[in-house]
């Protein structure tokens, strides 16, 4: 009888450990999703302003107005960064 009880306690303890581990993994995933949600909400709020939306579109797609000149400034490579050794 004690052996049966001991075996059942062992099995329950093993299940509890497994469930606890799974809970930790799910909680970590939940935290990641919450962070992503927060980040996306902030981005939506930022882009809901027409001026910010225009700024992002212009920078990502090099958009310019018809009579506007687009100038792209490329930083000069410093010695050792270009990989050519010049």
For residue 19, the model assigns a pLDDT of 97
Q: How far apart are CA 31 and CA 27, in angstroms?
A: 6
For residue 72, the model assigns a pLDDT of 79
- Residues of the chain with pLDDT > 90, as a percent, come to 58
For residue 63, the model assigns a pLDDT of 82
Band of pLDDT at residue 51, cut at 50, 70 and 90: very high
Q: How far apart are CA 16 and CA 20, in angstroms?
A: 6
For residue 82, the model assigns a pLDDT of 52
- Predicted TM-score (pTM) of this structure: 0.56
């Amino acid at each position: 009888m004690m052996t049966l009880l001991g075996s059942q306690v062992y099995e329950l303890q093993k299940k509890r450990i497994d469930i606890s581990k799974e809970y930790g993994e799910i909680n970590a995933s939940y935290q990641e999703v919450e962070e992503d949600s927060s980040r996306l909400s902030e981005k939506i709020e930022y882009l809901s302003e027409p001026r910010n939306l225009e700024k992002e579109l212009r920078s990502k797609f090099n958009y310019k107005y018809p009579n506007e000149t687009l100038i792209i400034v490329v930083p000069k490579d410093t010695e050792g960064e270009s990989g050519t050794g010049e």
